[in-house]
């Protein structure tokens, strides 16, 4: 049996202002989420981007080519009803942040980690009020409870739309600090992704690049950039 796929039935998709934000209308009919709630977004820029995705569909709708719409659906159907749990799981990355676990050798990898990650930990201490400390090796080392509490409060201050994108940034990079650096525009998303891949880049240089791993990493990179874009548009 072939998989059912929605066919394009509309002529034009357009952003429309609602009582509590911005929606998307297909020939005047409002778009709804998979859970049948109205797809209402927090900014016109975000609604315009979603409408562009609907207009770009051809005969058959490809959800994979609609990252803004998918993130909006997730924010409404999944993150908003489970906000506390999503915020907790996301904030917990601070206790095992990628930037804190350092190689002891070789010297060149240690140098790259220090150059790429120390400035971000310094930024987090200054901008977020949370000093996380690097440790040598991969064994778990607890961080300062006050710093982690501060990071938890910063995550909980996000709204559901921003938390949806932010949680992707954090999970894909393995770093709560990198997520905040992108969210606060302290770091370009492409550069943020590069810094999150210092270890993998080093390994590829030493042993050669695995084609499947490279393809998987590229998919993750594009999702990371989509999340950064959604976060930026949500605040426009």
- The answer to whether 121 and 129 are in contact (CB under 8 A) is no
Residues 96 and 25 in one domain: no
DSSP 204: H
Q: Between helices 189-196 and 160-173, what is the axis angle to 10°?
A: 40
Q: What is the mean pLDDT of residues 26-38?
A: 95
Distance CA 27, CA 152 (A): 42
Please give the mean pLDDT across all residues of the chain.
95
What domain count does the chain have?
2
- The pLDDT tens digits of the residues spanning 47-64 come to 999 999 999 998 899 999
Strands (E), the chain: 13-18, 21-26, 29-30, 40-41, 101-102, 135-136
Same domain, 101 and 64: no
Quick: pLDDT tens for 134-188: 999 888 899 999 999 999 999 999 999 999 999 999 999 999 999 999 999 999 9
Question: The domain containing residue 118 runs over which residues?
Answer: 82-234
236 pLDDT more than 80: no
At 87 the pLDDT is 98
| Terminal-residue alpha carbon distance, the chain | 44
**One domain for residues 137 and 224:** yes
- Centre a 10 Å sphere on the Cβ of residue 121 and count the other Cβ atoms it contains: 18
Residue 60, domain member (yes or no): yes
**How many Cα atoms within 13 Å fall on the side-chain side of residue 9?**
7
pLDDT of the residue at 235: 86
Task: Assess whether 96 and 212 both reside in one domain.
Answer: yes
For range 14-42, the mean pLDDT? 95
Q: In terms of domains, do 227 and 159 share one?
A: yes
The backbone torsions φ and ψ at residue 22, rounded to the nearest 5 degrees and listed phi first, read -135, 135
Tell me: do 31 and 88 sit in the same domain: no
| Chain centroid to CA 203 | 25
């Amino acid at each position: 049996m072939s998989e059912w796929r929605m066919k394009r039935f509309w002529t034009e998709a357009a952003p429309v202002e609602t009582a509590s934000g911005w929606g998307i209308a297909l020939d005047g009919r409002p778009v709804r989420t998979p859970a049948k709630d109205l797809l209402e977004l927090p900014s016109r820029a975000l609604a315009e981007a979603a409408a562009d995705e609907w207009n770009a569909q051809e005969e058959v709708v490809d959800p994979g080519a609609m990252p803004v719409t998918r993130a909006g659906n997730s924010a409404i159907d999944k993150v908003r009803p489970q906000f506390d749990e999503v915020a907790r799981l996301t904030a917990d990355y601070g206790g095992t942040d990628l930037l804190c676990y350092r190689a002891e050798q070789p010297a060149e990898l240690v140098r790259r980690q220090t150059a790429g990650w120390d400035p971000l930990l310094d930024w987090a201490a200054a901008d977020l009020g949370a000093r996380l400390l690097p440790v040598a090796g991969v064994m778990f080392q607890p961080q300062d409870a006050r710093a982690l509490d501060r990071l938890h409060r910063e995550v909980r201050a996000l709204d559901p739309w921003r938390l949806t994108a932010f949680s992707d940034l954090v999970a894909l990079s393995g770093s709560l600090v990198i997520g905040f650096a992108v969210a606060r525009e302290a770091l370009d998303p492409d550069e943020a992704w590069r810094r999150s891949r210092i270890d993998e880049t080093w390994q590829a240089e030493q042993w050669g690049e695995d084609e499947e791993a490279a393809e998987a990493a590229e998919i993750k990179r594009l999702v990371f950039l989509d999340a950064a874009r959604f976060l930026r548009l949500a605040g426009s």
